[in-house]
Amino acid sequence: MEELDWRFKIAHREAWIGLGLALFNFLWWFGFAYGLGSRPVEEYRYVFGLPDWFFYSCVVGFLLISVLVVIVVKFFFVEVPFDEEEEE
């Protein structure tokens, strides 16, 4: 008899999470960069001296993603053994 390895279900879910996080990351990065960055330079505002589009897209985006990775890993990722189990 064959049965699906229980660990694969976990692995597949985590791969989907990775894909979702990458998509979110892209949208955040793209949205702020071109949403705010397309205005004429005279209309830029500055946060800590950096242009606002850059600050939100790259600085906040990076920190936000780092935090999200921590949250996702701590709460949604499950530890599984990698070696084949010998029992059964």
Least distance from C-beta 24 to another protein, angstroms?
10
Q: What angle do CA 18, 22, 25 make, to 5 degrees?
A: 135
Binding positions for another protein, 16-55, rule CB under 8 A? 17-19, 21-22, 25-26, 29-30, 33-34, 37-38, 41, 44, 46, 48-51, 53-54
Backbone angles phi, psi at 4, to 5 degrees: -70, 135
Residue 49 Rama label (left phi>0; alpha psi -120 to 50; beta): left
- Separation CA 11–CA 5 (nearest Å): 10
Query: Residue 58, interface with another protein (CB under 8 A)?
Result: yes
Determine the size of the site formed for another protein (CB under 8 A).
53
Please answer whether residues 83 and 13 qualify as being in contact, where contact means their C-beta atoms are separated by less than 8 angstroms. Answer: no
Positions that interact with another protein (CB under 8 A): 1-5, 7-8, 10-12, 14-15, 17-19, 21-22, 25-26, 29-30, 33-34, 37-38, 41, 44, 46, 48-51, 53-54, 57-59, 61-62, 65-66, 69-70, 73, 77-84, 88
